[in-house]
Amino acid sequence: MSEPSLRVLSVVSELYPWVKTGGLADVAGALPGALAAEGVAMRTLIPGYPAMLAALPATGVAVHDFASLFGAPARLLAAEVDGLGLFVLDAPHLYARAGSPYAGPDGQDFADNAQRFAALARVGEQIGGGLVAGFVPDVVHAHDWQAGLTPAYLRLASGRRPPSVMTVHNLAFQGQFPAGLLAALGLPPESYGIEGVEYYGAIGFLKAGLRYADRITTVSPSYAAEICTPAGGMGLDGLLQARRDVLHGILNGIDEAVWNPASDPHLPEPFSATRRAGRAVCKAALQARFGLDRDPDALVFGVVSRLTWQKGMDLLLQAVPALLGQGAQLAVLGAGEPALVGGFAAAAAATPGRVGTAIGYEEAIAHLVQGGADALLVPSRFEPCGLTQLCALRYGALPVVARSGGLADTVIDANAAALAQQVATGLQFAPNSLPALEQAIGRAAGLWRQPAQWQRIQRNAMRCDVGWRGPAGAYAALYRAMAAEAG
């Protein structure tokens, strides 16, 4: 007998495929579909950015009118789009802007981000309190600092409210705002303190979520452990350590329909774990796209990443000479810090045919890199879960990863024991230093010179379960436990 359906409200600031700056959007977009199979009905509350409103069908209906929400009228729209149940907060004074969800075209964060995301959280709390009669959630699930006030509002509200879970996708982004905004954000004076929303003299949105949520999750078991330490806790390790008993690490999956090499419209030729011949065609297309020499025998390393310090891209740039010394090629897709963008562009200019770049955010090219590169480099200094190495596993681009967070949890290093057991799926290196990265590149090149070994690892990689079934089961179990406790 299937379990009774549970209603969960997801509160989030990005949603694939409409609004995405990183992995958060992928998770928010894929989780509801996977949860449906677990008997969980998830609806997603998202700000009404222009791209979100444009995605709504004419059948979207207003389910609530706010006379005033942080300074002006607003509406809550409900719609079903591509199988996702959505609540879209149509508040033009907060969200009708050009730029990313968080910053204008000039790259500057919007000055009223506190109000913009407090509004999202406030409406999440109200839906939790029964604002929409047709969907009264049993659990509210808040993602990252943008939704961090949701658990606070729920806990501080009068009347019955559902329990909440706060998920940390990246502890580096915490949402700190001036303490003087306390009243404007509708937070009571007594909530301002170390046992409340205060974070070193400011209001911390993520801190608030971590403090008030009934449960905390993060996106891998290793990252759950790392964020409880001074080295990985980014100032929140004390709170996280104190709440260790309600902190869970649940790995992300990838959307296996979007990331399926057998039916990927961005690949010139399909392939699969059992029929891998099409990979050679994809590799040739990748080499052509990145201006690399058309050499089927050259080991091609790919990168699909934000070009940032967190992602270890400065280390990789320094490792380019060693990589070239191994006779390998490098294809870098990314956008980010100007110095790194310039650095990779300079490397490509200096070594034409050996290093190629595609600067920008290009979904189609991301698929081509995964399908055409022989190995994917992920030298992150910290990585909560990481999605690109999961895509790489599925597409048979052997992940070469720093032993950190979710990277450590998802790639099995090709050491002697793993090779003997035939369970290796990629390479790990530690510590995250230039010599260790160079050594890992050298190890990859050594394996490349043993084609039978390489193909065995590739086959193992492509057989890994990187989908959402397992993670969705873990979230469903967590929600049910929370709902049962709440009675």
* Interacting residues toward ligand ADP by CB under 6 A: 22-23, 26, 304-306, 333-335, 361-363, 366, 385-388
Q: In whole angstroms, how close is the CB of 278 to ligand ADP at the nearest point?
A: 20
Query: Which C-beta is closer to ligand ADP: that of 129 or that of 396?
Result: 396
- 375-378 and 300-307 as β-strands: parallel, antiparallel, unpaired? parallel
Q: In whole angstroms, how close is the CB of 242 to ligand ADP at the nearest point?
A: 26
Q: In whole angstroms, how close is the CB of 143 to ligand ADP at the nearest point?
A: 12
Q: Apex CA 49: angle with CA 48 and CA 55, to 5°? A: 80
Query: Which C-beta is closer to ligand ADP: that of 82 or that of 363?
Result: 363
- 6-11 and 84-90 as β-strands: parallel, antiparallel, unpaired? unpaired
Q: In whole angstroms, how close is the CB of 484 to ligand ADP at the nearest point?
A: 31
- Identify whether the C-beta of residue 464 lies closer than 8 Å to the C-beta of residue 259: no
Q: In whole angstroms, how close is the CB of 401 to ligand ADP at the nearest point?
A: 11
Query: Which C-beta is closer to ligand ADP: that of 306 or that of 463?
Result: 306
261, 266, 267, 268 alpha-carbon torsion, rounded to 10°: 150
Q: Apex CA 42: angle with CA 411 and CA 219, to 5°? A: 25
Query: Which C-beta is closer to ligand ADP: that of 257 or that of 486?
Result: 257
Distance, in Å, from the CA atom of 160 to the CA atom of 315, rounded to the nearest integer, reads: 51
Task: Provide, for the chain, the percentages of residues in helix, strand and coil under a 3-state DSSP scheme, each rounded to the nearest 5.
Answer: 40, 20, 40
Q: In whole angstroms, how close is the CB of 265 to ligand ADP at the nearest point?
A: 15
Among all residues, whose Cβ is closest to ligand ADP?
23
- In sequence order, the β-bridge partners of residue 401 are 378, 428
Q: In whole angstroms, how close is the CB of 106 to ligand ADP at the nearest point?
A: 20
**Cα of 240 vs its chain's centroid, Å:** 20
Query: Which C-beta is closer to ligand ADP: that of 48 or that of 399?
Result: 399
Query: Which C-beta is closer to ligand ADP: that of 22 or that of 33?
Result: 22
CA 157 → CA 141, 186, 272, 394, 475, distances in Å? 17, 10, 52, 45, 25
Query: Which C-beta is closer to ligand ADP: that of 268 or that of 442?
Result: 268
